[in-house]
């Protein structure tokens, strides 16, 4: 094929690389479906445990099925002592790096690591969904010199995470906020970290290795790192009345405003409305409406960018929710991962189920046929 005939889609923009039945996104109309269910219905009615079941088994669970699934998560919340040792050893590391390292360690000792059957991969996936909160919370306590707070089987997934993180009975509003945040972050089709997981799975790498790859991709500020960057922006602005001028200066300097824009959504990210509402409620509940006000003024200042299809995305309000829950900024990416692990697992299983090695092309534009020169002749 001649160079003129090659079409390069940088960043694989607009390229469909497979079929999926896990998630549908309509970027023009701002629609998001998990296994056909609208994100607004799930946000208003489901629990994270229900959404996990739906994403893994492609249907909503009966009461008994949900109870069994919930019990399986609770049974698997603890970490092997060797993995706790790893968390201690790397306690001063960035929480995302510690999460990635702990998952690597889990993969080296998982009893099913060599078993690639669907049953074994589901067992491994459920173990990781259950263990992610424990890894993140254990590291937070250990790096602060606090005692590890063991998981409790009488608490839901979100409540147990807050319990392990803080060592105190979690506030029901905080639990609801955390549960909703996990639901909204659970799945989003072939985003960069999920695509990375599918590339690894397409080589038939095991589930833990594919998840480690996904965590690595999530860490970047253009993907999972945006929520942390949004709160740094709020900090820099300081006061609601300074937001408009600050945004205009950044845009004039061709800087990006974190929490805005999306490769697929060219209208408001449907997840944002739930996080915006939650941020408002928590700001009032915890007596600190200023953060929410600053965010609202940023959003208003960004309205002209809508003409370019740049709207608020899932990360814009997420950081303020973690802030209101008293969670440090360097935990925002691990919390995104606690929500997204189920989406990664669902996609890894889907990739295994009808696999074709993912191996796109790069269009070579370098020199051709250069003659070898011996070192004595080189200048």
- C-alpha dihedral (266, 270, 327, 161), degrees to nearest 10: -130
Name the nearest CA neighbour of 322 among 286, 270, 365, 370.
Answer: 286
Q: Least Å distance between CB 310 and ligand SDX?
A: 5
Q: Would you call 80 helix, strand, or coil by DSSP?
A: coil
Q: Least Å distance between CB 269 and ligand SDX?
A: 7
Q: Least Å distance between CB 257 and ligand SDX?
A: 4
8 Å CB contact between 224 and 337: yes
CA distance linking residue 23 with residue 216, whole number of Å? 22
Structure tokens at 324: 């209101």
Q: Which residue is nearest to ligand SDX (CB)?
A: 261
User: Which listed residue (262, 274, 323, 347) is catalytic?
Assistant: 262
Q: Does the active-site annotation cover 315?
A: yes
Using CB under 6 A as the criterion, which residues of the chain lie in contact with ligand SDX when the complex forms?
188, 191, 222-223, 226, 256-263, 308, 310, 313-315
CA distance linking residue 70 with residue 155, whole number of Å? 10
8 Å CB contact between 135 and 102: yes
Q: Least Å distance between CB 222 and ligand SDX?
A: 4
Q: Quick one: the chain helix, strand, coil %, rounded to 5? A: 60, 5, 35
User: Which listed residue (70, 110, 179, 315) is catalytic?
Assistant: 315
Q: Does the active-site annotation cover 70?
A: no
Q: Least Å distance between CB 177 and ligand SDX?
A: 18
Q: Residues 6 or more apart from 357 whose CB is under 8 A from it?
A: 202, 203
CA distance linking residue 220 with residue 258, whole number of Å? 12
Residues assigned a catalytic role: 262, 315
């Amino acid at each position: 094929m001649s160079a003129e005939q090659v079409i390069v889609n940088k960043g694989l923009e607009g390229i469909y690389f497979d079929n999926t039945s896990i998630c549908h996104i309509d970027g023009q109309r701002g629609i998001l479906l998990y296994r056909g269910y609208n994100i607004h219905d799930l946000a208003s009615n489901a629990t994270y445990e229900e959404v996990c079941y739906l994403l893994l088994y492609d249907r909503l669970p009966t009461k008994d099925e949900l109870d069994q699934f919930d019990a399986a998560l609770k049974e698997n919340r603890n970490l092997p002592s060797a993995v706790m040792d790893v968390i201690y050893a790397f306690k001063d590391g960035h929480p995302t790096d510690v999460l990635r390292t702990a998952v690597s360690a889990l993969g080296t000792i998982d009893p099913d690591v060599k078993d690639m059957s669907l049953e074994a991969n589901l067992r491994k996936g459920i173990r990781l969904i259950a263990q992610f909160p424990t890894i993140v919370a254990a590291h937070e306590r250990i790096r602060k010199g606090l005692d590890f707070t063991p998981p409790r089987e009488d608490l839901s997934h979100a409540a147990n995470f807050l319990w392990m993180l803080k060592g105190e009975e979690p506030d029901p509003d905080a639990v609801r906020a955390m549960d909703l945040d996990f639901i909204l972050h659970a799945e989003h089709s072939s985003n960069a970290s999920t695509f990375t997981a599918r590339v690894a799975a397409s080589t038939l790498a095991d589930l833990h290795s594919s998840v480690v790859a996904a965590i690595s991709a999530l860490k970047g500020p253009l993907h999972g790192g945006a929520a942390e960057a949004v709160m740094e922006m709020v900090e820099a602005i300081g006061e609601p009345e300074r937001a408009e001028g600050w945004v205009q200066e950044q845009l004039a300097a061709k800087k990006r405003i974190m929490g805005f824009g999306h490769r697929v959504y060219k209208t408001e990210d449907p997840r944002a409305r739930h996080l915006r509402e939650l941020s408002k409620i928590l700001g009032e509940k915890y007596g600190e409406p200023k953060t929410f006000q600053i965010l609202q003024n940023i959003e208003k200042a960004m309205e002209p960018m809508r003409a370019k299809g740049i709207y608020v995305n899932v990360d814009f309000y997420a950081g303020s929710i973690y802030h209101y829950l008293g969670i440090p900024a360097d935990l925002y990416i691990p919390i995104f991962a606690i929500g997204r692990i189920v989406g990664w697992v669902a996609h890894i299983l889907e990739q295994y189920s009808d696999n074709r090695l993912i191996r796109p092309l790069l269009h070579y534009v370098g020199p051709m046929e250069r003659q070898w020169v011996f070192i004595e002749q080189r200048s």
